[in-house]
Amino acid sequence: MPQELVSYLPLIAVTMPLIAFILVTCLPNLAWWRSAWSIIGSLGTLVAVGMMFPALSEGNIIVFQMPMIVTPLDLTFRVDFLSFYIAAITSFIWLMATIFAIDYMNHEHNQGRFFAFFLLTLSGTVGVPLAGDLLSLLLFFELMSLASYVLVIHTQTDEAYSAGNIYLYLGVFGGMCLLTGIGLIYFSCGSLEITQQLCMVEGVNNYLLAAGLLMFIGFGIKAGIVPLHIWLPKAHPVAPAPASALLSGIMIKAGAYGIIRTVTMIYTPDSSFMSGEYLAAGVKNLWHLVSNAGYAIIWIGIVTMLFGVCLALLQDNIKKLLACSSISQIGYIIMGIGVAAYLGYDGAMGLAGSTYHILNHAFFKSTLFLAAGAIVYLTGELNLSKLGDLRHKLPFTTIVVLIASLGIVGLPLFNGYASKTLLHHAIVEAYEHHHVYSLYIAEKLFTITSAGTVCYFLKFLFFAFWRPAPVEMPEIKQEPLMMKIGLGVLAACMLFIGFSPNLILTKFVVPTLSTFTLDTYSVNYLMKISFWHLGDIWAVAIALVLGGLFFYIAQRTNAYRLKIPFWLGADFIGSLAGRLAIIVWIIISFPFTLLQNLMRTTSQYIYKKVFTLLQSVDYRPGQKTIFRSINISNIDFDMILVLLSFSIILIVVFYIRFGIDVFRL
């Protein structure tokens, strides 16, 4: 059993950016002040998270409880290796994005506000994986969502406000889904701990089924899975590049993290439950339920992968292309989670692939969005049709983009190769375990999606960097120093991961599996896996050849100029979802509206009659004889009414607080 160690480090990790947020807010217009405290806040978080590694690497768990003055519940932190893994990725990339933003934000207005809410969002985002219970997680999740709204609407254009509204509405809706799901879990289990729940084994009732669905929807909105993705292609392009990098590279992973915790932990039996004979049937039934849910999640991931690729292929704006790419890449992660749930006790490969891809996607997608920021900062243009020959004009950015692009397509020796290989192994393993033919189809769709990824990145690289520049393209200056530092460090990290895939797997990915219910043999197998198997390299080669063929056909047929059908666009889906939500709300609220109208009409009638009666009673001394009959010890009639009302209220409150048993004493 892991030992729990009490430490202030989780609290320090979330309060460092809060302190920096307050200090930046005090002097928002002082450039060196806000830049210094922005770096100190993000660096302080990274250091606090990093200091947890020695204890966690020994198999311990870090815990801390902070009393909440205004609520009866404590703010709790519970950090296992998965929590550390997500928090470390978040804080490191946040620091690089902050360094990049110091130069990038020079051409933006309201820089103080941006950096302040940049820090506030960091506090919420890093708090999500460090939270020790579902209510604490929800608190940080909502802080992340609400604070990042200000980053989305930073430019304050009509497009930004429109995107921000969708982002905010869906964020609030997702938060309400999470709150309802958490309430149902607490109602059924009596616990909010982010761990395996005994009540799940004792019997999953309808409340717990509804809770699981609501939790998946709430986290799925933030992750950007189809069809809950409609905020993502709108919010990412309008936000400043550092914010876009973190929205796509980091914050959508908070949704993926929540799904991992919900599906493969809270709704999965603990190994200790398996020893009890009276729980054997419950464990079997729960595994069967999770397996069925995992099959559905696999296909949600596959559909998300394909849909994101199709959208990305038709984009001309770089940031919109990258945003749609994020939808596709989150599909890989969701598919891996689905495989882990589908295989249950043998699902180590799927879970390892998802957690590894969270790391890789965080690096290459954050890098690509920051590179897009450098391009628009230096050229003022993001449309691929108006760019060209950037490989000569911006050689440093070209190298960084090339490294990130080769990583995202999964080329060997680059960082995406290892995680995509694990995910490909996982979907093949899912088919071979039960020989369900639909999963064989899913594996082929996985390959087609990978080829589509190659295709739209060939489009990106060719149009922006390799083809001749348009005549009207202006002269370009070189990237500022701070931008180069942020991009350069991220590119170096991607190369390190690409050249050392087994080191990352054994030292960081496999330890994240320690808190899950998984077969020891399947976990140990991951420690010995080789990424340089000819079959894996051949699978990548097939995707590269298909992707190149797709690109050639698209170039010859001008397929890139096709427009996205209206019924596939985010506007149509969002409008349809909004109308459906209004209809559902009207149906649900109809009986309550009738009851409310009845109560309002009745209370108005009673109030009118009582008021008329009181007006007819003259209780002023010396006016009418009726006054004498209601005057008690010279206390006026209105005072008697007040005292009587207070007495009734006190009796009711006393009864509610102490119960009827007090009268039997």
- Whether residue 622 has pLDDT greater than 70: no
- Integer-rounded Cα Rg, in Å, for the chain is 29
pTM of the model: 0.83
- Whether residue 577 has pLDDT greater than 50: yes
Most confidently modeled of 60-69, 310-319, 637-646? 310-319
- Cβ(387)–Cβ(464) below 8 Å: yes
- Whether residue 90 has pLDDT greater than 80: yes
- Whether residue 634 has pLDDT greater than 60: no
Predicted pLDDT of residue 556: 79
Q: What is the mean pLDDT of residues 312-339?
A: 90
Q: What is the mean pLDDT of residues 193-209?
A: 79
Q: Which are the contacts of 208, defined by CB distance < 8 A and separation ≥ 6?
A: 184, 185, 188, 189, 199, 200, 267
Rounded to whole angstroms, the Cα distance separating 154 from 151 reads: 5
What does the mean pLDDT of the chain come to? 83
- Whether residue 359 has pLDDT greater than 80: yes
- Whether residue 9 has pLDDT greater than 50: yes
| Helix or strand run (H / E) with residue 6 | strand 4-6
Rounded to whole angstroms, the Cα distance separating 13 from 22 reads: 15
Buried b (16+ CB within 10 A) or exposed e, 103-115: bbbeeeebbbbbb
Q: What is the mean pLDDT of residues 475-487?
A: 85
- Whether residue 627 has pLDDT greater than 50: no
- Cβ(397)–Cβ(371) below 8 Å: yes
Token representation of residue 31 = 């450039």
Q: What is the mean pLDDT of residues 621-645?
A: 54
- Cβ(487)–Cβ(363) below 8 Å: no
Confidence of residue 3 (pLDDT cuts 50, 70, 90): confident
- Write down the number of H helices and E strands in the chain: 26, 3
Q: What is the mean pLDDT of residues 330-353?
A: 91
Least confident among 54-68, 220-234, 476-490, 614-628:
614-628
Identify the CA nearest to 139 among candidates 123, 151, 155: 123
Q: Which residue has the higher pLDDT, 491 or 581?
A: 491
Confidence of residue 98 (pLDDT cuts 50, 70, 90): very high
**DSSP string covering 292-330, please?**
HHHHHHHHHHHHHHHHHHHHHHT--BHHHHHHHHHHHHH
Most confidently modeled of 18-22, 131-135, 166-170, 272-276? 18-22
Instruction: Kindly give the interhelix angle for 158-189 and 206-223, rounded to the nearest 10 degrees.
Output: 150
Burial (CB < 10 A; 0-12, 13-18, 19+), residue 209, is middle
Token representation of residue 496 = 């390190």
Tell me, what amino acid is at 588? I
Least confident among 3-12, 155-164, 370-379, 467-476:
467-476
Rounded to whole angstroms, the Cα distance separating 182 from 606 reads: 40
- Cβ(617)–Cβ(626) below 8 Å: yes
Token representation of residue 594 = 């009738």
Predicted pLDDT of residue 116: 92
Q: What is the mean pLDDT of residues 60-85?
A: 82
Phi and psi for 77 in degrees, rounded to 5? -125, 140
Confidence of residue 81 (pLDDT cuts 50, 70, 90): very high
- Whether residue 344 has pLDDT greater than 80: yes
Q: How many residues does the chain have?
A: 665
Predicted pLDDT of residue 573: 60
pLDDT in tens, 47-59: 999 999 999 988 8
**DSSP string covering 530-582, please?**
-TT-HHHHHHHHHHHHHHHHHHHHHHHHTGGGPPPPGGGSHHHHHHHHHHHHH
Q: What is the mean pLDDT of residues 303-324?
A: 89
Confidence of residue 630 (pLDDT cuts 50, 70, 90): very low
Give the number of other CB atoms < 10 A from CB of residue 151.
25
- Whether residue 464 has pLDDT greater than 90: no
Predicted pLDDT of residue 369: 92
Least confident among 97-106, 345-354, 621-630:
621-630
Cα atoms in the 13 Å half-sphere on the side-chain side of 217: 18
Token representation of residue 537 = 């390299």
Predicted pLDDT of residue 663: 45
Token representation of residue 69 = 């003055």
Predicted pLDDT of residue 491: 93
Strand partners, 4: 61
Confidence of residue 379 (pLDDT cuts 50, 70, 90): confident
Rounded to whole angstroms, the Cα distance separating 276 from 274 reads: 6
- Whether residue 122 has pLDDT greater than 90: yes
Q: What is the mean pLDDT of residues 586-611?
A: 77
